[in-house]
Every structure is written in structure tokens, then in C-alpha cells.
Amino acid sequence: LRLGNSVEALQAAKRTIHLSDSVLRLCLTIGHLNRAMYFACDNVLWAGKTGIISKLDQQKWSQRSFR
């Protein structure tokens, strides 16, 4: 489910790149990219907790997802 959220956030960022208002385009695109990066870090953290990725520093990836 979260992988789908990552893809949807990237698609939303691609849609907002074409807005005519430059301030709105910048703010919305950065917001969607920020959400996509959060979900990407969260997906890596989930994979580490389930054992798919061994030897993952979960504390580091948890901090990355909060930033």
C-alpha cells in the first residue's frame, strides 16, 4: 500500500510541474517530492524490519523518514 503512495506522490509532482503560477508550482512540486521521499525511506525501513534487507541501520532510516 505504501509503495503505491510513493508512486502516486511522484505522479502528483509530475502533474504540478505544468502549473502556470510559478510560486504554486514550486510549492506543490516540492511538497509532493517531499512526501515521495518520506514514503521511499519508509519503504526501506519496512523492508529492513521484515528482514528483506539485512543489516539495515533502522535508526538511521527512521531519522531520514522523519526529516
Per residue in 38-47, pLDDT tens?
A: 888 888 888 8
Distance CA 4, CA 38 (A): 13
Confidence of residue 66 (pLDDT cuts 50, 70, 90): confident
Q: How would you class 45 by CB atoms within 10 Å of its CB: exposed for 0-12, middle for 13-18, buried for 19 or more? A: buried
Per residue in 14-51, pLDDT tens?
A: 999 999 999 999 999 999 999 998 888 888 888 888 88
Q: How would you class 28 by CB atoms within 10 Å of its CB: exposed for 0-12, middle for 13-18, buried for 19 or more? A: middle
Instruction: Give the CB-side neighbour count of residue 46, counting CA atoms within 13 A.
Output: 9
Amino acid, res. 18: H
